[in-house]
Amino acid sequence: MQGQSGSGSDVTFDFTGKTVFVTGASRGIGREIALSFARDGARLILGARNADALDRVGQEARSLGAEVQILTLDQRNVEDIKSRVANLGSIDVLVNNAGVEEVRPTLEADEALWDKIVDTNLKGAFFVAQAVASKMADAGSGSIINLASLTSYVGVPGAVPYGASKSGILGMTRAMAAEWAPLGIRVNAIAPGYFETDMTSVFYENKAWVEQMISGIPAGRLGELSDLSGTVKFLASSAARYIIGQCVIIDGGYLAKI
What pLDDT was estimated at residue 210?
86
pLDDT digits (tens, 9 = 90+) for 115-141: 999 999 999 999 999 999 999 999 999
Backbone angles phi, psi at 41, to 5 degrees: 90, 5
Residue 218 lies in a domain: yes
Among residues 162, 204, 242, 254, the one annotated as catalytic is 162
Q: Looking at residue 11, what is its pLDDT?
A: 56
Q: Which domain holds residue 250?
A: 19-257
Task: Collect the ranges in the chain with pLDDT lower than 70.
Answer: 1-12, 199, 201-202, 258
Distance CA 179, CA 119 (A): 23
Determine, yes or no, domain membership for 213: yes
Active site residue 162: yes
The domain spanning residue 195 has which CATH number? Answer: 3.40.50.720
The answer to the question of residue 14 being in a domain is no
Please report whether residue 171 resides in a domain.
yes
Q: Does 8 map to a domain?
A: no
Structural domains counted in the chain: 1
Amino acid present at 245: G
- Concatenate the DSSP letters of all residues of 179-242 into one string: HHGGGTEEEEEEEE-SB--TTTHHHHT-HHHHHHHHHT-TTSS-B-THHHHHHHHHHHSGGGTT
- Which residues on adjacent β-strands are paired with residue 142? 185
Q: What is the pLDDT of residue 241?
A: 96
1 within some domain: no
Question: What's the pLDDT at 8?
Answer: 45
Let me know if residue 47 belongs to a domain. yes
Tell me whether residue 13 is in a domain. Answer: no
Q: What does the pLDDT read at residue 10? A: 55
